[in-house]
Chains A and B, each alone.
Chain A
Amino acid sequence: MDRPPIVEMKGISIEFPGVKALDDVDFRLFPGEVHSLLGENGAGKSTLIKALTGVYQLDSGTILVEGEERRFRSTAEAQAAGIATVYQEINLCPNLTVGENVMLGHEVRKRFGIDWRATHRLATEALAKLGLGGLDPRRPLSSISLALQQLVAISRAMVINAKVLILDEPTSSLDAAEVAALFRIIRQLRDEGVAILFVSHFLDQVFAISDRLTVLRNGRFEGEYLRGDIDRATLISKMIGKDLDALKALGSSQPTAARDRSATPLLTAVGIGRKGALQPTDIDVHPGEVVGFAGLLGSGRTELARLLYGADRPDSGQVLVNGEPTHLHTPADGLEHGIAYATENRRDDGIIGDLTVRENLILAVQAGRGWARPLPRREQDEIVREYLTMLNVRPADPDRPIKELSGGNQQKVLLGRWLATNPRLLILDEPTRGIDVGAKAEIQEEVAQLAGDGMSVIFISSEIEEVVRLSERIVVLKDHHKVGELVNGPEVTAQQIVELIAEHDDSAEHAPLSEEAA
């Protein structure tokens, strides 16, 4: 590829209060190429996109577009320069028609107002270019499927003559046939010379569509590779930041499972699933056992946890607690059966920001008692003292609003909230994400300790070696279904799990793999 890059970002740094979101990151985008941006959650992919499209301002670094230094102050400016973005949550107006959405801001004008006939004709042409000639531009957008809406969003980008098209998780809500159709269009645009920046957590899709890959990790540039030059396992190890040898070396100190699995499990799920979230899955958890869920973000690990807790209603399958069939339809049901779920998303699903540390700590216990039986002050004080000390929360001031605490300390308070309910099964979803190394070790020790005391734990983490170190049994998930289950032992390595995840999926789900021009 000897053409000059259409976009070149050099030494990009962006700092948010207390966090370096991007640290000296380089990125280039060539015309006529699909370039995938890869990295774990929080690696800085979205931040980089937002830096390019003018949502965030750079703290340092330069952006060259067609060789000229640019600094966009808004997405409108970036669009005017030919950079269009199609987000995961489609940014169109569902109450307008398809044609209005395609042409919004570019309507054809005549002397009195808008020439709707000409506008719709242009919209039809734009849609036809993407093979959507049959779609009536007068239909309301909300009446067509999500996949079609995605394509409408791309048509809209093409109307503004975008030279750079950014697709952020475009396939997350599409089925296999829709993905194939989308990929056809992406290839067509690429062959017309559009530069495409593709972000997806489906590795198979990334390998199917990309010409070039850039990996970010913890806000740093990890490497840029041509698709043919790197294999999946290496790519995953770059994303999670452990080299292959280190991954292999791990797994010497992990728990060996000498557990009797003939007894009644604490929790059994048979064929539990939910459309669009998780394909029917079986799982057992025995008393005092630590079960790890390994898998990348979006693999179904959080979806499974939510079904086991009752946060979402399953539409297939059955959950048994101590052998008894149970219906877990709300989180309150989960708590009543001794299941607690510390969520992955601390801000939206965890803390009640304006309430104090004390109120946040006692909330789940109080919810279990109902509002009419308030927890006596003395018992509140006991819970507060016990967990603030045990989890080493700083500052240890129970009457401060929780939103004033650091992320790691909020996480500890939330852990305390769940422990205070005395659960028999504690589900920890990414409990160590976004917190410093010291707090991470404390939480890992805590998990081992709890299991030693007889509590069952489901441990979910993107850091595979962490799962291997803590779990007796490892359930591996990928693309919304369980792909394997390993009983941990000296022979089990993180590498083995990475290979399970990286393994080719021949279930016809990723048909576009077969035809590739390269």
Chain B
Amino acid sequence: MNNRARSWVSGVVRRQYFWGIVGILVLLMLNTIKKPDYLAITMNPATGNLAGNLIDILRAAAPILMIAIGMALVIATGGIDLSVGSLMVVAGAVSMEFLKAAGDASSVGAMLGALGLALALSGILGAVNGVLVSVVGLQPFVTTLVMMLAGRGVAKVITSGQNTSASNDPFRWIANGYLFGLPAVFLIAIAIVVLVSLVVRRSALGLMIEAIGINPQASRMAGVKPRGLIISVYTIGGVLAGIAGVFAVSSAMTVDVSRTGYQIELDAILAVVIGGTALIGGKFSLGGATVGAMLIATLDKTVVFLGVSSSATPAFKAAVIIVICLLQSKRVRTFISRRRARGTPPPRPVEPLPVRKEEVPA
């Protein structure tokens, strides 16, 4: 290996989300060991659509991908959004009710109306989060916790507590349709990720989000107005949660008011952390959040595929995630590289981690 290639490889390895990619590959390998043709992809000769386990993973990844991107931005400002799952179910509920009332199962107009209504409502609720955090000055954790409870309540009010179903083919296509042989929902999700990344990085939004996340006081002194920024970020998070809600309910054309989006905020926070964004805010990586979301989706599918009993699922998931977090941790990595630098000696008693001298403030 020549030097340039080596430095490129070590650059990739040093990326926070490198271990997320490794995690995805290892999970896929496990599945392949269980069933050698796990990775096989077949093409439906009539439609040209691809099918297979990988394709299923892509389709399943779409909602969590949306939530993770929004969460990464919110966390970068030094906040957190626990209400995303509830905003999903609000969006799902309002779109199902609208389509049910519209009745016409082939109307594109009804589909657009449902979509617009869902995104507008989830965006407004996200903006409410933002106002409470930045104008009223409530803690993000408390604000969005309240919204998490209130949102699911609002969804139940919208559907009168029922799991509303509706039929509308254009809306159903969002989750079940294909474009260029791939699931449309995944392509839409990736397009939105690219769009958000462009908006954030091409405008000065990303810079300012990072600035207030790293040092809010200094940012204010530099003339950054945190209020509008924070409201925008929570609003974007709300709209993305609304899109995730539409993705989630359009596959079966039913909103399950108690299950849709349930606990997805925890998955999203994990995806963001695996992607290398620190929970204290500051520098963020949307690419990393994407990798994290793909890992969560792969993990969910693997758990089902390996037949892990449903009671053991949370424990299995937790075990995988803790291993990845350990591999990312600076201490563990220094420890490993130090051992590797010593050559791989015959097994020795494990040495305790070196105690680092407390850093003295300058």
Task: List chain A positions with a Cβ less than 8 A from chain B.
Answer: 16-19, 56, 311, 330-332, 334-335, 341, 343, 348-355, 359, 363-364, 366-375, 407, 417, 421
Contact = CB atoms under 8 A, between A and B. Distances in A.
Contacts of A354: 210, 214, 282-283
Given A348-B218, A349-B217, A366-B204, A331 B210 contact: no
Interface centre among A363, A366, A407 (most CB of B within 10 A): A363
Given A353-B215, A366-B204, A366-B208, A17 B223 contact: no
A-B interface, 6 closest residue pairs, ranked by CB to CB distance from nearest: A367-B223, A335-B223, A374-B204, A371-B204, A332-B223, A367-B224
Given A331-B222, A332-B225, A371-B229, A363 B211 contact: yes
Given A16-B360, A371-B203, A372-B203, A364 B222 contact: yes
A334 B204 CA distance: 21
B322 interface: no
Contact of B204 (A332, A351, A369): A369
Interface string B172-213: 000000000000000000000000000000111101101100
Contacts of B204: 366, 369-375
Contact of A351 (B215, B225, B282): B215
B239 to A, nearest CB: 17
Contacts of B222: 331, 352, 363-364, 367, 417
A351 B222 CA distance: 9
27 contacts: A17-B360, A330-B220, A332-B224, A334-B223, A341-B221, A348-B217, A349-B218, A352-B210, A352-B211, A352-B219, A353-B214, A354-B282, A359-B207, A359-B211, A363-B223, A363-B224, A364-B222, A366-B207, A367-B208, A367-B222, A367-B225, A368-B223, A370-B204, A371-B204, A371-B205, A371-B207, A372-B203
A455 B227 CA distance: 31
Contacts of A374: 202-204
B362 interface: yes
Interface in B83-138: none
A16 B362 contact: yes
B361 interface: yes
A337 B279 CA distance: 36
Contact of B223 (A19, A331, A352, A359): A331
Contacts of A19: 362
Nearest to B361: A16
A371 B221 contact: no
Nearest to B220: A331
Given A56-B360, A366-B204, A352 B214 contact: yes
A130 B202 CA distance: 63
A389 to B, nearest CB: 22
A373 B214 CA distance: 22
Contacts of B208: 366-367, 371
Nearest to A336: B223
Contacts of B219: 352, 363, 367
Contacts of A311: 220-221
B362 A355 contact: no
A373 B361 CA distance: 38
B167 to A, nearest CB: 41
Contact of B221 (A16, A350, A370, A407): A350
B76 to A, nearest CB: 11
A371 B223 CA distance: 12
A516 B203 CA distance: 66
B161 to A, nearest CB: 41
Contact of A355 (B203, B205, B211): B211
Contacts of A332: 223-225
> In this complex, which of B202, B204, B223, B360 has the most chain A Cβ atoms within 10 angstroms of its Cβ?
B223
B43 to A, nearest CB: 44
A319 B229 CA distance: 28
Contacts of A366: 204, 207-208
B361 to A, nearest CB: 7
B218 A351 contact: yes
B362 A17 contact: yes
A372 B224 CA distance: 13
Given A332-B225, A341-B221, A352-B219, 4 more contacts: A16-B360, A343-B221, A352-B222, A374-B204
Which of B208, B218, B229 gathers most chain A CB within 10 Å?
B218
Nearest to B362: A16
Contacts of B360: 16-17, 56
For A18, A371, A374, the residue with the greatest tally of chain B CB atoms inside 10 Å of its CB is A371
Contacts of A330: 220, 225
A346 to B, nearest CB: 9
Contacts of A372: 203-205
Contacts of B224: 332, 363, 367
A219 to B, nearest CB: 13
Contacts of B282: 354
B227 to A, nearest CB: 9
Nearest to B357: A57
B207 A363 contact: yes
A143 B198 CA distance: 51
Contacts of A348: 215, 217-218
Interface string B268-285: 000000000000001100
Nearest to B200: A371
Contacts of A351: 215, 218
